[in-house]
Amino acid sequence: MEFVNLFELQQEIRESLDERFPESLWVKAEVAQVQIRSNGHCYMDLCQSGASGLVAKAKAVIWKGTYASVGRAFARATGSPLAAGMTILALCRVNYSELYGLSLVVEDLEPQFTLGEAEMERRKTVARLEEENLMDRQRELELPDLPYSLAVISARDAAGFGDFCNHLDSNEYGFKFKVTLLEAVMQGKSAPESIADALALAETSKEGYDAVLIMRGGGSSLDLACFDDYSLCLAVACCSLPVFTAIGHDRDIHVADMVAFRSVKTPTALADEFIEAFAAEDARITELAHRLSLAVGRRLSDMENELALLESRIKAADPRQVLGRGYALVTDARGVIMKSSRNVAPGEKITVLFNDGKIEAEVKG
């Protein structure tokens, strides 16, 4: 029986690889894990996924001397150091060890490729949401006139969340709001699922939130790339509550912003949205109260005028007013005013009323 020992087999594999890949080559892969050791070396797990899941993986290393320059250049160009979830294009030398197996020694990185991949994924997300008619779904919702109960998705120690709460609490009108923090991972590979879970929690909560607010301060393009993730943007678009976003810098527009009910640039601007909603309602109520006061005032004035007119009419009809002008009134024995001399018989008793007294008389003829 012919056989080969393990070391010889490993040698043959190494020699075959050296012959097949004598020079470095550019490799596209996704970063599954990154570790920067205390000695300055950078170790990575690279992988590739397909329709059925993970289809390939490999160990990679950037030695200390290379990482000091390549890693710095990558972070400067992309705004973020190497991190899990990134898709990279790396110039690699294929290395095979009889003890440690296959590994890739990274000699250079192409940061523009990583940025381009992120932008390509962003465009795919937008196209897919447009095809599914979900880009404007949130804007079909209605926000209550007085949105009081607010669910905020953020990291607890985020400066933006603190700024939002302080600005909301110190509003000049003294309006009060109920703010509930739903903590979530706000960057990196796990962020989309974490934020989507928080959205689902807000929807199913018995609190009855009026709106959901997603807040994330500034960061690099790659730090904020999770807000272009299809699964997260789908969760935002399909949320039954109005979703507000305040993500990144002024120049940043993410797909999550595009599908949200409303998007602003800073947490304090987001606080102003709700303060202004209350102020607008307060102004509307104040205007209604003013109009009601004017209407009541006008009605009272009209009623006073009507009373004055009625009073003048009553005065004009008062017999004493007639007597005061020198006239006299004649009444029969029953005290009924006599308006005619007809039907008055001789001997009938009458009374003649004057302004200053009366005379009892008898009709002679």
Q: How far is it, in rounded angstroms, from Cα 100 to Cα 87? A: 25
Give the N- to C-terminal CA distance of the chain in Å, as an integer: 171
**Distances, alpha carbon 282 to alpha carbons 145, 146, 296, in Å:** 10, 10, 21
Residue numbers in the chain where pLDDT is lower than 50: none
Burial profile 145-180: b = 16 or more Cβ within 10 angstroms, e = fewer: eebbebbbbbbeebebbebbbebbeebeeebebebe
Q: How many CA atoms lie within 13 A of 156 on its CB side?
A: 2
pTM of the model: 0.62
**Distances, alpha carbon 113 to alpha carbons 71, 89, 119, 259, in Å:** 15, 6, 10, 27
What SS3 string covers 77-129?
HHCCCCCCCCEEEEEEEEEEECCCEEEEEEEEECHHHHHHHHHHHHHHHHHHH
Q: How far is it, in rounded angstroms, from Cα 298 to Cα 304? A: 10
What pLDDT is stored for residue 115 in this prediction? 81
**Distances, alpha carbon 343 to alpha carbons 328, 331, 336, 346, in Å:** 20, 13, 14, 10
**Residues 270, 272, 276, 277: is their CA dihedral positive or negative?**
positive
What pLDDT is stored for residue 251 in this prediction? 67
Helix axes 230-238, 111-131, angle to 10 degrees: 30
What pLDDT is stored for residue 322 in this prediction? 67
What pLDDT is stored for residue 337 in this prediction? 77
What pLDDT is stored for residue 324 in this prediction? 67
